[in-house]
Amino acid sequence: MDYTNPRTVDSPKAAIRKLKVLFDGGEQASIDDGKGWNGWSVAEFEWYDVPALGIRWNGSTQNPNVSAVGNPQSRGLATWFVLPAPLADAVRTRIKEAPTVVHDIRPFPETPEAIALGCKCSIARKRDGSPAFDSDGGPLYAMTKGCPIPSHN
């Protein structure tokens, strides 16, 4: 189960700055939640220095009907569809009503992939040992300073 983490979609690098993911619906699974909130993302960024909103399908390594890279893509690199300005406010308003999704920020701390990259972070845990989540539903991490995984900093 994997998909293209929207926090890593910053191509073309000359065009995109200050990427901030506003909604991450996770993997584009073949079975969705029935409400349509799965499998796509919305982000805000500066597009050639102009504030913009972008959307994309996150893709999946499991769903044979979609690519792991998601859509749109350019020469195999994940990209954003930059929303025309007249639609941006409507999308911004609607995603405020999005259900809480447990964001899957890969690679997690404590996974073999993360450890191989030199990550020494861990997942914050409650007293009973279960993972702790923030108010947005994202897992809380006990970060280590200077972790080589950008999303851990």
CB nearer Zn ion, residue 54 or residue 107 = 107
Interface with Zn ion (CB under 5 A): 119, 121, 147, 149, 152
The residue type at 10 = D
User: CB 108 → Zn ion: shortest distance, Å?
Assistant: 9
Give the residue with the Cβ less far from Zn ion, 21 or 121: 121
- Which residues are registered as beta bridge partners of 77? 74
- Indicate the residue among 52 and 121 with the shorter CB distance to Zn ion: 121
Q: Tell me the closest approach of the beta carbon of residue 121 to Zn ion, in angstroms.
A: 3
Rounded least distance, CB 118 to Zn ion, Å = 8
Q: Is 84 helix (H, G, I), strand (E, B) or coil?
A: coil
Report angle CA 148, 131, 35 to the nearest 5 degrees: 95
- Vertex 105: Cα angle to 102 and 108 (nearest 5): 110
In degrees rounded to 5, what are phi and psi of residue 115?
Answer: -65, -40
Q: Are the C-beta atoms of 149 and 114 separated by less than 8 Å? A: yes
Q: C-beta of 149: minimal distance to Zn ion in Å?
A: 5
Nearest to 40 by CA among 19, 61, 54, 20: 54
Q: 13: which DSSP letter? A: T
Q: Quick one: 53 or 149, whose CB is closer to Zn ion? A: 149
Nearer to Zn ion, 103 or 152 (CB): 152
Rounded to the nearest whole angstrom, what is the least distance from the CB of residue 148 to Zn ion in the complex?
A: 7
